[in-house]
Structure 1
């Protein structure tokens, strides 16, 4: 049946997930938090962004790229 995978993915969505637009708006700040305080502290302070990055492949790729670029410049 069609539509079941989309429904299943929707039902597994973390209610804290802020979505792509909001996550991208603050991604640079989230990267700075990760570099300064570690991933656990950044996730504690920004649970909606952390939830989104764990669920969204494209945004997670952007995060990893920013993290790598920022890590090289520090």
Structure 2
């Protein structure tokens, strides 16, 4: 393995991506905004960018969103 795939992924990373730690710290806020259709991506573009790029964090987001939407419905 020569690492080219990892380099390509790194180079394609959105510079607004806040990383896992910050995304997880604010995920509950982001989920509430998404659930209320309150402009989550506009307010937190770095979290949106991270969730597009990070499968595990995106999975956490989807799970938490499902739980929040399920409670509201």
Q: In which range does the TM-score fall when normalised by the shorter chain?
A: over 0.9
5+ unaligned residues in a row in structure 2: which ranges? Answer: none
2:43 is the counterpart of 1:45: yes
The alignment partner of 1:10 has SS state of helix
5+ unaligned residues in a row in structure 1: which ranges? Answer: none
The equivalent position to 1:64 in structure 2, one of 53, 62, 70, is: 62
The CA deviation string for residues 29-72 of structure 1, in whole angstroms up to 9 with x for no partner, is 0000001125xx21011000000000000000000000000000
Q: Number of aligned pairs?
A: 72
Q: TM-score, normalised by structure 1?
A: 0.93
RMSD value, Cα = 1.0
